[in-house]
Structure 1
Amino acid sequence: MHKSRILIVDDDIGVVKSVRANLQAREWDTLVAMDGEEALDVIGREQPDLVILDITMPRMDGFEVCRQVREWSRVPIIMLSARRDVEEKVKCLNIGADDYVTKPFGVNELTARVKAVLRRTKESGIEPTASSFTSGDFSINFVERRVTIQDEEIKLTPTEYNLLQELVLGANRVFSHSTLLGRVWGPEYASEREYLHVFVGRLRKEIEPDPAHPQYIVTVPGVGYKFQSAS
């Protein structure tokens, strides 16, 4: 059975040792990078299944690492920060992170987040009854987890794909915020609306001809979102 490999990126050796020991105790393999430049090298060379990335590091901070990684990789990223404000969390999600954990954190909290993110890389909610779906220029192949616009493939992170699939499988149905959060992220995220808001924005940038005036992922004020099918 494949053991997930998790890269820990932090310049605090104490944090690295603690996180590494706890991840290994749960039978995950670990890799370590002590700064942003080393992290980019390890991600490109080792292709880990998940990256735990601290924001505050010398030379290249976590924000820049995340931005650069997202130019060529969809690897899930959990960002660590000492700041608790919502603005910081939204910034992390906007640049491509999959989750955000505030320092200091408990071992169980980080482990739960790791499990949730890894689960989302392998699962995608309910099983489709058809192998594909097309609406106008948009097409999704559920078997290959492949999305195209005008026959051009769109690269999505696992969480982005799972959210899109959930909406497409219920095309023209309105989903509440809590329903989408529960199905895609898990019940523990049911009140974390900023996650949904940011990921919907990320999807619109990828699939909409005009993200400011979406034709596929439509907001239903006061309720949630729906995928509007042309067919």
Structure 2
Amino acid sequence: MQYKHLFFDLDHTLWDFEANSRQTLQQLYHSLGLADRGVTNFDLFHKQYIVHNDKLWDRYRNGFIKVDELRWKRMWLTLLDFKIGDEPLARQMGEEFLDALPTRNILFPYTIEILTYLRGKGYRLHLITNGFQKTQHSKLENSGLTGFFGEVITSEGSNSLKPHKEIFEYAFRVTGAEPEESIMLGDSIEADIQGAINAGIDQVYINHLGVEPAIKPTYTVSSLKELETIF
């Protein structure tokens, strides 16, 4: 068996971030009465949120902003698109969003089955995630994934971020894994695949969206079930 340690990403790979995020935003939309404030189209609100969230996460990954700024400014900028300049509301939304989001439990198809399969074959499973410590552990607990992973390495806990090699080196130290017996599995070419390349380990690109990657990973699958053809 070439690989012993399988390092998974969480959001967008196993835990369906888009579906869970949409549900949570919809809950806030109704509970905070945003329709009465002028946000008459939730779908457009959600679309704008995704745009701002992606841009701010990119800035966060590259060290231009701090985590606290990311958490509320994605709401602030989205509200501004609807001419709502209410900073206290944006900060309230940021807090309530982070409280509610990790309680969601929508997973990609075959998540539980493939983790059970891989564990049964003797692989050691871990997570490397750019998410926040408390938030990611809550997601795992609420979606029934906690028991599958030996170590959960977060950007917060490691003081580094994918794609920087330091978070992978931290993961090797914590787990006792050697690079040659390790492989990274994730949905992001920029964070997961390039990060694994930077760290000198093989990669599986989990291409849920059918995107043509800019670089060639070691393996590419379009669904979690296809991992059975590799491991």
TM-score by length of structure 1 reads 0.28
TM-score by length of structure 2 reads 0.28
Richer in strand (by share): 1
Richer in helix (by share): 2
